[in-house]
Amino acid sequence: MGITSWLWDIQGGATLGVIWAIMALGLYLTYRVLNYADLTVDGSLTLGGAISAVCVAAGVQPILAILIATAGGMMAGSVTGFLHTKFKIPDLLAGILTQFALYSINLRIMGKANFGLLNEVTLFSQIKELGVPSRWAGLIIGVVFAVVLIILVYCFFGTEIGCALRATGNNPHMVRAMGANTKVYIVLGLIVGNGLVAMSGALLAQYQGYADINMDVGTIVIGLAAIMIGEVLFSKKTYFHRLAGVVIGSIVYRIIIAFVLRISLTADTIIKITADDMKLITAIIVVIALVAPGLKDSALAKLSGKEGE
C-alpha cells in the first residue's frame, strides 16, 4: 500500500507537471528566448481557465473551448506588447498593468470567484468515455499536448520569423541594423507566449473541474522553477533539448512537491508541511536550480586543477 501510494503520487505529479509545462513553455518563450520579463502570465493563466470553464458550461466542445481560451491569452499578450512598444511603458510595468486589469476581466467572465464544472463534459471526461482509466486520462492528454507543442515551437524557431524573434531577444541592435522592426517580434513573442499560458490554464481548469480567480498565484515562480530545473538537466543543448527540458523540469518540480507532501504526511516530523508552505519550498527549489550550475562548474574547475597538478 505504501509503495502504491508513492507511485500514485509520482503519477499525479507528472500529470500536473505536463499541464503546467505548457505554461512554462510560454514563459520560456518570453523570458529566455525574447529576454522579456513578462508578468502578464499570472493573469493570462486564469484568463484561459475562465474562458475554458465558461465555454464548456455553455455547451462548447472542450477542445474548441481550449482554442478560444488560447486566443484570449494571445489578446492579453498583444495588449502588453502594445503598451510596451507603442507607449514606451517598461516591460515589467506593462505586464503588471495587463495582469492587474485581467483580474477584473476574469471575474467578469466567470461572474464569480470560483466557476465549477461539475457534471460538465470536458476533454478529460471524453477521454475517460473511450475506456481510458481516469487516473491516466490527464497524463495522456498532457503528454500529447506537450509533445505537439514542443514540435510546433521547435519548427517555428527554424522559420525566418522564428529566427528573427530569437535574434530580437539575443541581439536587437543587429536585427534593427538588418532593417527589421524589433517591436513587431516583441509583440509576436508576447502573443504566442501568453497564448500557451492561457492554453495551460484552460487544460488545468478542465482537469481540476473548476476555474478559480486565484489559480494563477505563483505562476511565474512555478514556471521559472521548471525552466531552471530543465536548464540544469539539459544545459547547453539544442533548442529542442531546451524545450523538452522545460517540460521535464516541470514534471520533476511537481514530483518533488508531491514527495515533500508525502514525506510530511507519513514521517513523524516536528514541523508538518502543508499547502501553505509551497511558496517557500518553490523558492528553495528555484534557488537550488540557480546555484547548482555554478557549484557544478566550480567543482569541475577544482577537479581539473588538481588533475593538472
98-145 pLDDT, tens digit per residue, is 999 999 999 999 999 999 999 999 999 999 999 999 889 999 999 999
DSSP 277: G
pLDDT, position 186: 97
Rounded Cα distance, 128 and 39, in Å: 35
pLDDT, one tens digit per residue, over 20-52 is 999 999 999 999 999 999 999 999 999 999 999
Q: pTM of the entire structure?
A: 0.93
pLDDT, position 1: 45
Cα dihedral value 11, 12, 15, 18, nearest 10: -90
pLDDT, position 178: 86
- 179 vs 24, more confident: 24
| Of 305, 308, 150, residue with least CA distance to 242 | 150
Helix (H) or strand (E) holding 101: helix 91-110
Helix (H) or strand (E) holding 304: helix 278-308
**DSSP bridge partners of 116:** 210
Rounded Cα distance, 149 and 159, in Å: 15
Q: Which of 251-255, 259-263, 264-268 has the lowest mean pLDDT?
A: 264-268
- 266 vs 243, more confident: 243
Q: Is the pLDDT of residue 266 over 80?
A: no
| Three-state SS at 227 | helix
Name the packing angle between helices 62-86 and 91-110 (round to 10°): 150
Question: What fold does the segment set 2-308 form as a domain?
Answer: ABC transporter involved in vitamin B12 uptake, BtuC (1.10.3470)
Maximum mean pLDDT: which of 8-12, 15-19, 176-180, 303-307: 15-19
Percent of the chain with pLDDT over 90: 70
Vertex 241: Cα angle to 240 and 247 (nearest 5): 95
Tell me what the mean pLDDT of segment 7-15 comes to.
89
pLDDT level of residue 265 (50, 70, 90 thresholds) = low
pLDDT, one tens digit per residue, over 192-202 is 999 999 999 99
Domain ranges of the chain: 2-308
pLDDT, position 260: 82
pLDDT level of residue 301 (50, 70, 90 thresholds) = confident
Vertex 242: Cα angle to 241 and 244 (nearest 5): 65
| Three-state SS at 38 | coil
Rounded Cα distance, 13 and 257, in Å: 8
Instruction: Compute the mean pLDDT over every residue in the chain, rounded to the nearest whole number.
Output: 91
For CA atoms 236, 238, 243, 244, the dihedral sign is: negative
